[in-house]
Amino acid sequence: MSKKRCDISCTSTVILVLMCLSYFNHVVHTVSTERFLTLSYAEKTALDKLKQRVLPKLKHEYMKQDVYLIMWVRASNADVDLAERNVLDNLKWRKERNMDSIHNEDWSDMLSLYPYTVKGQDKEGKPLVYIKFGEWDVRRSVVTGQLNRARRYIDKMLDDGYRTVVKLQQDGKNATQYSLILDLENYNIVQQGCISCMPLFLYYVQTLQTHFPWTTDKAILVNAPAVFEIAMRLLRPILSEQVREAQLTFGTNKEEWQKFLRTIAEPDQLLVEYGGTLVDDSETNPN
């Protein structure tokens, strides 16, 4: 590899690592279900005021539940005015993006380009979302002018993760968030690490933070390439304790990361390729 190509590769990887750290810092919140539902006095006061202001404006029943509104209270640090503004902005965004019908659209053009799976639960009953990032062909969307299409697919994927949480709640379960397993196998600087690919990753982080706050419990990276793994480990000491607990990065030692995954989820709740016995028999991503 030429020095110029190497410099570009390293620069793109560093940018991607920094974006991952931004993701961990702002949108990953590792808390138990009990802790999630336990409010401080300030949070409880803010929640009660928020409900008075926004309940009549909320369209869906799940949005009127405390467990949903708590996310907005926490994301605003119990600032009622900010929480109200964020909730209403989110309602406007969902309407503008036609989010209520997004899962009814034909996504066959995106399924092979951006594979992910929502299947199984961890030991706390939180759904598991697998993103096979190493197989994402982001560059193709960029060069073919399909970046906006890919952004909408991101909307669909994020909504898919949280609506699985909502479904469990409706079934009487105590799910509050989901856990993310990010698979970097086959990570390719051309397909995923190009500079022009970065806007899509930034959109992912911003959308998750703005419209799906406090929905992600932890993020586990597996099959991380050496340069990615090293960068994450070097930066890890400067992260907050919460972020360090929420983010775990594993290299290509399959036995190592599969062993860890089995500590957070029973084998029958993990996909076979991730050390479990659960078969992903869906032909497409869940709708």
CA distance to 16, 40, 45, 275, per residue, from 70 (Å): 30, 11, 11, 34
8-state DSSP, 284: S
pTM: 0.86
- CA contacts within 13 A on the Cβ side of 252: 8
DSSP assignment of 180-237, as one string?
EEEE-TT--TTTTS-GGGHHHHHHHHHHHHHHSTT-EEEEEEES--HHHHHHHHHHGG
pLDDT tens for each residue of 230-246: 666 666 665 555 555 55
Question: By three-state DSSP, how is residue 49 classified?
Answer: helix
Give the pLDDT of residue 34.
82
10 Å CB burial of residue 277 (0-12, 13-18, 19+) is exposed
Q: H helices then E strands: how many in the chain?
A: 12, 5
From the CB of residue 60, how many other CB atoms can be counted at a distance below 10 Å? 12
- 279/273 Cα distance (integer angstroms): 9
**36-99 fold:** Helicase, Ruva Protein; domain 3 (1.10.8)
CATH-assigned architecture of domain 3-33+116-274: 3-Layer(aba) Sandwich (3.40)
Please report the pLDDT score of residue 248 as a whole number: 79
pLDDT digits (tens, 9 = 90+) for 13-26: 555 655 555 555 55
Provide the pLDDT for residue 202: 82
Tell me what pLDDT residue 27 has: 57
Q: Where are the strands (E) in the chain, listed by range?
A: 116-121, 127-131, 178-183, 216-222, 247-249
CA distance 279 to 195: 36
Residue linked to tokens 């929480």: 83
Residues in the chain predicted with pLDDT less than 70, given as ranges, are 1-30, 193, 229-247, 282-287
**pLDDT value, residue 285:** 47
- Tell me, what DSSP letter sits at residue 103? G
- Please give the structure tokens belonging to residue 166: 């909502």
User: Can you give the pLDDT at residue 4?
Assistant: 43
Domain ranges of the chain: 3-33+116-274, 36-99
For CA atoms 70, 72, 73, 77, the dihedral sign is positive
